[in-house]
Each structure stands twice: as structure tokens, then as C-alpha cells.
Amino acid sequence: MNTYGGIMVKTSRKNTWLRLIMVSALLLSMFVTIPKAANAEDELNLRVKGAILIDADSGKILYQKNADKSLGIASMSKMMTEYILLDAINEGKITWDQKYKVSDYAYKISQNRALSNVPLRADGEYTIRELYEAMAIYSANGATIGIAETIAGSETEFVNMMNKKAKKMGLKNYTFVNSTGLNNAQLDGMEPAGTGKTAENKMPAKSVAKLAYHLLKDHPDVLKTSSITKKTFREGTDDAIKMSNWNFMLPGLVFEYEGVDGLKTGTTDFAGYCFTGTATRNGTRLIAVVLDAVDANGEGTYKSRFDATRALFDYGFNQFTTEEIVPANYTFKGQKSIPVIDGKEDKVNIATKEAISIMVKTSDRDLYKPKLVLDKKELDAPVKKGAVVGHVEIEKTEGKDYGFIDGEVNNAEVVTTATVEKSGWISRAFKGIGNFFSDLWNKIF
């Protein structure tokens, strides 16, 4: 016999063991907390101050961590210099064969081998193509200044162009103080006018990704140069110098990753180890940005930025697919048509003009649903087939969706699927009379 709450209860050995198990389970539940389902940021466990991963085709954001905080970007700034240069080439403002005569500023910076540089001769002349390759492959800072001076006359004016282009692109929280990404303290007192003595370029990971997104969209040929692993500057001359790409994820290099062909590394004491990488597999291209990456010991290294980028690429390529969310000619239940005023038909059917496909996490495929947004609730006859009456928005019913790097994308119009002619005046008159008596009847009865 045992006593529970003052009541005598007859027990068996079996019952005693059951009670012990139940009590143990109760006590365990008091001290053990079941972990919540891990989100992407917890899953990847990136040791970075900021990061983002996007689909390079649509701009769909697949992952982000502290992506809106403005941080140092170092030589990734050169992507903006590349963009402005390639714009100028396309517009015919300068040419690849155009010669640059070295300024004192570019010469002095290019002689500093503690920085990434190809030494330029004080009395030398170099083609824009030579300078561009030195910048894109070897991150040469003197060469970058030469490009800025060629385009704008001075680096000061070029910085103004960088900031204007950033604003036009819709970048947020950016600061450009020079063309290279160096700290102004490294420019030997020759920093652009109006910038701080120790100022440095800054942007959030999201803005860096947006810059890379537009660079690849508008100037895809940049990959022909960013994918070059090794090249000799001024080969066959006394000034020949071997240039090795700082992007060690390229094929054949120490941290190679399948499909990587760009884009730009960056390192300063302020910014830490940064990288904007892009890779393609099976027709899908991703863009990854990592800012101030460190290893397990909290130390920034070349490897730490590539390890973080590898984790992002693995996540994107392994867990995401492009899925058709809405097929072409899709009709919405409860809204298959809209009214037509004064038409031979009282209504006209509507449907999506094109299919909508977006990159989504495979496990979340069924969480994305189409939402109809009508611009017009009715149409006046005559109505042409294919007239736009609204669009489709895709909503995620559960969990977080990061949206697109360029804002919301509604890439499927809703259109009429048939033509409705305007009815004749006699028909309209009889219909008007019928409507009058119908309304009168309803008011009376």
C-alpha cells in the first residue's frame, strides 16, 4: 500500500515502475526546451558581419544575414568602376585602345607593392584594356586610378560619377570616397577632394549584390575577364609582371568551386575579408556576397571568405529550384471574368498572359500562392482580346520571403481572353429600358 495525497492506494510493482517513468518524464520536460525549427541563418552558421545570396536571373533573394547594415567593401568597390568604364565603352566615350598617360598620383600609388598593384612607369602610356585587365584580374589600384582619370578627368569627379550611378541604380546606404576601395589614408595625402583623410567605401551586402546584379545584367562580358586565373601584364616587355587572380574559387585554384567565374574580392583592415562571387550550374547563376568573414577562431583569412561563399553556393544550388507557380492562361476561381458595359456580351473572361516561375526552396514549393490584383472592375465596350486588366502577385503563405533585389516583381499580366464588340444603339436602348423597370420593380417590391 502507498499513500498519494493522503489516500491509501494498493499498488503493484508494475504500477510503481510506470509511475516512476511518468514522474521522470515530467521532471525532464521541466528542464529541457525543445529547440525551434532552425531558419536559414542558423542552418548556415556563417561567421560574417553581412551576407546575401540571390538568383542572378530574377534577382530573387534566397538568403540574407544583416544585409542592410552598411559595412566596408574594400576592392569590391571596383565593380562600380568597372560598370562606369563599360558604360563609357558602350557609349563610345572612350575606346579599349585609347592611351592613358600616367599621372603623378597614379604613378605613386602604383609603386606601392604592399598594395595590389602593377607598377606603372612615370613616363609610360597604357591602353585602357591593359588597365582594365590589371584592375579586374589583379585588383591593381594604380591602374584603377588611371581608368577613373581617363573617364572623368580626375578621381574627385569620378567619385561623383560613382555616387550618381549608385543613386540611379537604387543602391541604399552607400558611401564612395575613391575609385579603388583603399582607405584614404593609403593614398599618400592625394585622396579625392571633399573626402575624409581616413574615409573608406561602405555599402550593405544587399547593395553590393544589387551592384553585381546590374553589372552582370548590363555587362555580362565582364565575366570573360573576371574568370581569367593568370595573365602577364605587358607581356614581352621589360615591364612584364605576372598577375594572379585573387578569386581563389576559380577553376584550378586552391579553393576552386564548380561553376565560379567571378567576381571581385576585397580586403582592408577596416572591411576585413570580403567577396562577391558568382557561379553557374545547370543553367542557374547565383550571386553571393560576404562581408568581413572570419574563421572559427574569429580571425579573418583568405579561406574564411571563400568558406562562407561555398556554404552559400551549396545552400542555393542544393536546396533551391526554379518552379512554375502560375501557368500561362491561368484563371482564378471566383473571378474568371469581369463585367462589360454596353457590350454584345455582358462579361469577358480573363486569364494570366504568361507563366510565372521563380526560384524557391524546394521544400517550400507549396507555400507560394498566386494573388489576383485587378486594375479595373469593369470594362467599357468595345473590348479587345489581350487588354490588360490587372496582374498577379505571388505570396508566401507561411514563413519569411526575402523578395527581390530590385523590389517586388510582378511579371505576369492578367488579360482578356476574347474580344467583345459594342452592342448597337437599339440593343442598348432596350437594355436601358429593361434595367429601368428592373430597378423600379426592385424598389417597389
Q: Which residues are catalytic?
A: 75, 78, 139
Place of cell 469581369: 338
For residue 12, the number of C-alpha atoms closer than 13 Å in the C-beta half-sphere is 2
Q: How far apart are CA 132 and CA 225, in angstroms?
A: 9
Number of residues that make up the chain:
445
Is residue 140 within 8 Å of 133, Cβ to Cβ? no
Q: For 111-204, where are the alpha helices, taking DSSP H only?
A: 128-138, 141-152, 155-169
Choose among 23, 28, 30, 29: nearest CA to 4: 23
Q: How far apart are CA 180 and CA 41, in angstroms?
A: 31
Provide the CA 353 distance to its chain's centre, in angstroms.
27
Q: What is the DSSP letter of 60?
A: B
Is residue 415 within 8 Å of 389, Cβ to Cβ? yes
φ/ψ bin of 111: left (φ > 0), alpha (ψ from -120 to 50), beta (otherwise)? alpha
Q: How far apart are CA 217 and CA 210, in angstroms?
A: 10
Is residue 78 within 8 Å of 180, Cβ to Cβ? yes
Is residue 176 within 8 Å of 80, Cβ to Cβ? yes
Is residue 388 within 8 Å of 375, Cβ to Cβ? yes
End-to-end alpha carbon distance in the chain? 81
What amino acid occupies position 118? V
Q: How far apart are CA 130 and CA 115, in angstroms?
A: 18
What amino acid occupies position 125? E
The secondary structure element, H or E, covering residue 361 is strand 356-361
Helix axis angle for 141-152 and 78-90, nearest 10°, is 40
